[in-house]
Amino acid sequence: MRASGKVLLTQRVKISRGEIHSIDERCKQCRLCIELCPKEVLQESEKVNEKGYHPPEAVEEPEKGKSCVACGLCEVICPEYAIWVEEKKENASTEGDQRERRF
Amino acid sequence: MIREEEPQELHPMDWWLRSERLPHIWCAGCGIGPTLYAWTRALDRVGIDKKKVVYVSGIGCCGRGSGYLDVDGFHTTHGRAIPFAVGIKLVKPELCVSVISGDGDLFSIGGNHFIHAARRNVDLLVICTNNFIYGMTGGQLAATTPQRDYSTTTPYGNTEPAFNTPYLADASGAVYVARWTSIHVRLLERSIAEALGMKGFRYIEVLSPCPVNYGRRNRLREVDDIAKWFWEFSVVKHEADTKEVQIERGKPLILGNFVKKEKKLSCYEELKELEERVRAAAEAKK
């Protein structure tokens, strides 16, 4: 039953896609966004900001299921107001969006 | 830090922030940032005019918040955030006054102000970011440190029971009592929005990670350890009895909106009724 439900849902629900923006100078490398991202999209970058921290960057691998679904968790959890997500309009779907919101 | 030569992109929250002051002084992973984020989002959700919002903070890490937000703010003396807020509310009752402060400020030095404001049912929203420790001064034992936890001044474990702050607020007469963590940002936002729509003394406790001074001494060194503790060991129980929500080691954290009731505001409604009664009596004498 559960599997069939999944098949039906994937046919019906369009999963929204997001684009991650960040202000690197505000990051303090607390890693909350990296650890809590449900799709494991974020990782520490090689860049170094003014204070010596490595800000996060988005590395999407759609074939492994690692792509931003615009859940916005990184935005609400970031203590520094450094990262935010903009939903890409063409694939927007509120139903898919709600399903990924864990917190 | 904003450099002039680089055009900066704007965070959706920047409308509420004095962004030239960022990055802020709070440690990596601090829970005050998400708390302020939830508060500002709740204000957006309720649709309160930004010019009518006042943010009063006391001393401690949280006290700095009034400097980072672009609303009318008041950084007051230690423990006296609530008296200042009561003063603002008495002079200008049309303003939306919120006190966002730490557990040391609200419950240790300002404990009496808290219970008396709750007893009088002043129209205030009080948000307490509880990090279980005196974080800014170096991790000393606070009134909210759970029993058997470690701090700088209790290296062999704390022997005293902690304050059950939702019970304290409920017993003192608060009309809205809730507890969330800074990881449950969306639920916290909803709860704050609900509280902003009410009248009376409303109290929300926000459990907040302090990885530097609390976590380091209590096997929660990394920020995500605390995040996982808050996420995995929390139980949402709306309308739970506030007597049973004490935070103890080895027991789940009980979150939720505990109390919601209606009560007359003693400073305005009761006072107006008294005035009318006395005037009527004086006129009857004539």
Q: Domain limits of chain B? A: 19-285
Rounded Cα distance, A92 and B181, in Å: 30
B168 φ/ψ sector (left φ>0, alpha ψ -120 to 50, else beta)? alpha
* SS3 category, B196: helix
The closest alpha carbon to B1, from A54, A79, A25, A80, belongs to A25
Question: Is residue B53 very low, low, confident or very high in pLDDT (cuts 50, 70, 90)?
Answer: very high
List, for residues A26-83, the tens digit of each pLDDT value: 899 988 899 889 888 999 999 898 889 999 999 988 888 888 888 889 999 999 899 9
What pLDDT is stored for residue B2 in this prediction?
Answer: 53
pLDDT digits (tens, 9 = 90+) for A29-45: 988 899 889 888 999 99
Average model confidence (pLDDT) across chain B? 90
What does the pLDDT read at residue B32? 93
Tens of pLDDT, residue by residue over B261-277, are 998 887 778 888 889 99
Kindly report the number of other CB atoms within 10 A of residue B272's CB atom: 12
Name the nearest CA neighbour of B138 among B216, B77, B56: B216
What Å distances lie between residue B277 and B233, B272, B283, CA to CA? 53, 9, 10
B1 falls in which pLDDT band (50, 70, 90)? low
- Min Cα distance B186 → chain A (Å) is 7
CATH fold, domain B19-285, is Rossmann fold (3.40.50)
Sort out which chain A residues have CB atoms less than 8 A from B38's CB and list them. 76
Where do the structural domains in chain A lie, given as residue ranges? Answer: 15-99
Mutate to test the interface with A, among B10, B17, B40, B185 (most CBs of A within 10 A): B185
Range B1-23 average pLDDT: 74
User: What ipTM does this complex have?
Assistant: 0.81
Residue B186's pLDDT band (cuts 50, 70, 90): very high
Residue B194's pLDDT is 94
A82 touches chain B (CB under 8 A): yes
- Which residues are paired to B130 by β-bridges? B207
Is the confidence at residue B128, as pLDDT, over 50? yes
For chain A, first and last CA: distance in Å? 27
SS3 state at B85: helix
Please judge whether A81 and B17 are an interchain contact, meaning their C-beta atoms are less than 8 angstroms apart: yes
Q: Name which CATH class applies to A15-99.
A: alpha beta
Please state, in angstroms and rounded to a whole number, the distance separating the CA atoms of residues B201 and B176: 7
From CA B33, how far away is CA B279, in angstroms rounded?
50
Q: How confident is the model at residue A14 (pLDDT cuts 50, 70, 90)?
A: confident
The answer to whether A77 contacts chain B (CB < 8 Å) is yes
On whether any CB of chain B is under 8 Å from the CB of A19, the answer is: no
Confidence grade of residue A1 (pLDDT, cut at 50, 70, 90): very low
CB atoms within 10 A of CB A38: 13
Strand runs labelled E in chain A: 18-22, 42-44, 56-58, 83-87
> Which residues on chain A are in Cβ contact (under 8 Å) with B183?
77, 103
Cross-chain Cβ contact B23/A77 below 8 Å: no
CB contact, 8 Å: B37 with chain A? yes
Distance CA B3, CA B145 (A): 41
